Chain A
């Protein structure tokens, strides 16, 4: 049986699904990922599905489960690179992937994780709100 490789980049685990997964492979990934999160202590998981030409309800459910398990293990999950045709199909199928954060590509996914982490740290430090708002420009450079 094929296995989906999991790469560690800094504080992030990156999973790029490049094959048409059998259900068993998806379940194996779910297990492997949980093990790796614990083993590495990473706080972010990015799952790149840009190579997947379909996401059916089984894969959708697996992604949701992975996100939930990661959450319990104190890691945020972002699913990136969903193709437009896949998204349109999921909407029609009625699958809205609740609880899953998404981003257009790996880079934006990493941004999102960094922001989530920063926000979580802020909460933990209980810094007064507004301190960082003043420093960030209201308008990003075009």
Chain B
């Protein structure tokens, strides 16, 4: 419970792969079901790539979560990039500003249990997601 979160600097494609692998390892350790592991790793991959592509790089912190009743995994993605001007638009399925499929943010939100985003134009974006064991 008091294990520290592990931190990865995301500055290249390789780091996105490292984020996926770290999330997978920790998800297995807290015994998320296979489907939930897959959902969480996929969400992490989407968001880490956002951090890299739109945020111009940043950090990802992965650590265990515990709300007293259930255990889970919490991941924090932060960057000092341009931020998101219109959140509603960014969460619209199919909307993209970077030539992707436009499923990154909205899709990732559907794959996790808790999704929190703090963003300001010119200051960066911090997204916190949590997945709980069933």
**Which A residues lie at the B interface, using CB under 8 A?**
20-24, 53-58, 60-61, 83-86, 88-89, 92-95
Give the residue name and chain of the B residue nearest to A64 (CB).
B101
Which residues on A sit within 8 Å (CB–CB) of B14? Answer: 22
CB <8 Å contact, B100 and A89: no
| Min CB gap B44→A, angstroms | 9
CB <8 Å contact, B103 and A92: no
**Which B residues lie at the A interface, using CB under 8 A?**
13-14, 16-17, 20-21, 24, 34-35, 37-39, 41-42, 45-46, 49, 93, 100-101, 103-104, 106-108, 110-111
CB <8 Å contact, B110 and A92: yes
CB <8 Å contact, A95 and B101: yes
CB <8 Å contact, A92 and B20: no
| Min CB gap A58→B, angstroms | 6
Query: Can you list 15 contacts pairing A with B, beta carbon distance less than 8 Å?
Result: A22-B14, A23-B16, A54-B20, A54-B45, A56-B45, A57-B100, A57-B104, A60-B101, A85-B38, A86-B38, A88-B35, A92-B110, A93-B103, A93-B111, A94-B106
**Known contacts A56-B45, A57-B101, A58-B49; is A94 also within 8 Å of B16 by CB?**
no
CB <8 Å contact, B111 and A89: yes
| Min CB gap A83→B, angstroms | 8
Main secondary structure of the interface of B (DSSP, over half): helix
CB <8 Å contact, A95 and B38: no
**Known contacts A22-B13, A94-B93; is A54 also within 8 Å of B101 by CB?**
no
Which residues on B sit within 8 Å (CB–CB) of A61? Answer: 100-101
Q: How many angstroms from the CA of A56 to the CA of B43 in the assembled complex?
A: 8
Q: How many angstroms from the CA of A53 to the CA of B35 in the assembled complex?
A: 10
CB <8 Å contact, B107 and A57: yes
CB <8 Å contact, A93 and B42: yes
| Min CB gap B13→A, angstroms | 4
Given contacts A85-B38, A88-B39, 11 further A-B contacts (CB under 8 A): A23-B13, A23-B16, A23-B49, A54-B20, A54-B41, A56-B46, A58-B45, A60-B101, A85-B37, A89-B35, A93-B107
CB <8 Å contact, B49 and A93: no
